[in-house]
Amino acid sequence: MAKSYWVAILPGDGIGPEIVDATLDVLETVQELSGQFSLIYEFHQAGAGCYRETGKPITDEALEAFQRANATLKGPVGLPDVRKPDGTEAGLLGGVLRVDFDLYANVRPIRLFPNVLTPLAANDPDSIDYIILRESSEGLYLSRGVGLKTRDAATDSMMMTRRGCERISRYAFRLSMEKGRGAPEDGRRRVTLVDKSNVLRSFAFFRDIFLHTAADFPAVETECLYMDAAAAALVNRPGHFQIIVTENMFGDILSDLGGATIGGLGMCPAANIGDRLAYFEPIHGSAPDIAGQRLANPTSQILAAAMMLKHLGEAEAAEQLENAVWNLYAQKRIPLMPTGAVKGGASLVAKELKAVLKSTGAHA
């Protein structure tokens, strides 16, 4: 008997619906080839469009489905002109879902696929292959919407808890052990903590806990790097890294930097994982300027779906999907523009990817 999984789908704003559609199209082929499982979808509204209509970034039904589903696949959200009275963007879900449901582990793989345009001199596929683990339940962003402001000053504060620092450190070491390979440079399993403990006590506190946790994982090399040096290192020697673990805002910034080195954010999926719930999404925004023009690249959304399959326990299907994306790029089957957009858009990518899956799927 095939297993079935309930998946809540939040298509989001801008290019969201078209890249999510393309992803579901591809997932259909993945399920056919596997024959071992089926995905049952429930579609719900969330994002800036939802905020405009309902005054809330996510509907009550969507929130309920999110808590009931085995996993949630979310498209990009946000529209530049949809704002809250305080001027911040409305319709963003990170603050709601990650914090309210304690999805503390934001897993962001940065991997260089073949034939994508990287601004770096070293451009061999897989010469960049690391994961940024962004702590996403505390840190500076816990101040989202609750910082203090007077007419002449404003403050946001950074929160680090012992529990938060410890569980994310442990998660990083477990990821390092589980990842298929070590750092591209030397094959070693290595967890790098990125902080600014030379300046702030909160980071020194995190570092102490990280180093203490490291003692339980003798098979993994441990190192610490300051955030400014880490930004340079991701450009100068990205092959050195296997797992990078860091605070919420630093992880937000570093993952965009990493994304820029592997062909842009269109290549970057993310998982948001807690002890009970999880959702999967691209790390980029909703690109409303190119929505509906057959230009959107759904790769990040499709890779997010592969992460979701792995999380659901369908590791083989997940690997098959990721390998197919790799082959799609290796075989130059999609016309990539220098901006990272695709001539032909998400549906073209889905069509080509399904052909690749079918050609390799038979003997997988």
Catalytic residue from among 41, 56, 179, 256:
256
CB of 22 to ligand IPM, least distance (A): 21
CB of 214 to Mn ion, least distance (A): 27
Binding mask 48-87 for ligand IPM (x = CB under 6 A): ------------------------------x---------
Decide if 41 is catalytic.
no
Residues 233-292 that bind Mn ion (CB under 5 A): 252
CB of 263 to ligand IPM, least distance (A): 17
The one of Mn ion, ligand IPM, none whose footprint includes residue 94, by CB under 5 to 8 A per kind, is: ligand IPM
Catalytic residue from among 60, 126, 208, 228:
228
With contacts defined by CB under 6 A, how many residues of the chain interact with ligand IPM?
5
Residues 151-210 that bind ligand IPM (CB under 6 A): none
Report which residue's Cβ sits closest to ligand IPM.
94
| 129 forms part of the interface with Mn ion (CB under 5 A) | no
Catalytic residue from among 141, 171, 279, 329:
141
The one of ligand IPM, Mn ion, none whose footprint includes residue 92, by CB under 5 to 8 A per kind, is: ligand IPM
The one of Mn ion, ligand IPM, none whose footprint includes residue 184, by CB under 5 to 8 A per kind, is: none
Decide if 228 is catalytic.
yes
| 92 forms part of the interface with ligand IPM (CB under 6 A) | yes
Catalytic residue from among 25, 51, 195, 196:
196
Cβ-based nearer residue to ligand IPM, 20 or 33: 20
Residue selected from 11, 47, 94, 239 as contacting ligand IPM according to rule CB under 6 A: 94
Decide if 256 is catalytic.
yes
**C-alpha to C-alpha distance for 270 and 108, rounded to whole angstroms:** 5
Cβ-based nearer residue to Mn ion, 158 or 348: 158
3-state secondary structure the chain: CCEEEEEEEECCCCCHHHHHHHHHHHHHHHHHHHCCEEEEEEECCECHHHHHHHCCCECHHHHHHHHHCCEEEECCCCCCCCECCCCCECCCCHHHHHHHCCCCEEEEEEECCCCCCCCCCCCCCCCCEEEEEEECCCEHHHHCCCCEECCCCEECCCECCHHHHHHHHHHHHHHHHHCCCCCCCCCCCEEEEEECCCCCHHHHHHHHHHHHHHCCCCCCEEEEEEHHHHHHHHHHCHHHCCEEEECHHHHHHHHHHHHHCCCCHHHCEEEEECCCCEEEEECCCCCHHHCCCCCCCCHHHHHHHHHHHHHHCCHHHHHHHHHHHHHHHHCCCCCECCCCCECCHHHHHHHHHHHHHHHHHCCC
CB of 363 to ligand IPM, least distance (A): 37
Q: Which residues partner with 155 through β-bridges?
A: 148
| 252 forms part of the interface with ligand IPM (CB under 6 A) | yes
- The answer to whether the beta carbons of residues 303 and 322 sit under 8 Å apart is yes
Residue selected from 90, 283, 307, 317 as contacting ligand IPM according to rule CB under 6 A: 283
Residue 11 C-beta-side C-alpha neighbours within 13 Å = 17
* Residues labelled catalytic: 141, 196, 228, 252, 256
Give the footprint of ligand IPM on this chain (CB under 6 A): 78, 92, 94, 252, 283
Give the footprint of Mn ion on this chain (CB under 5 A): 252
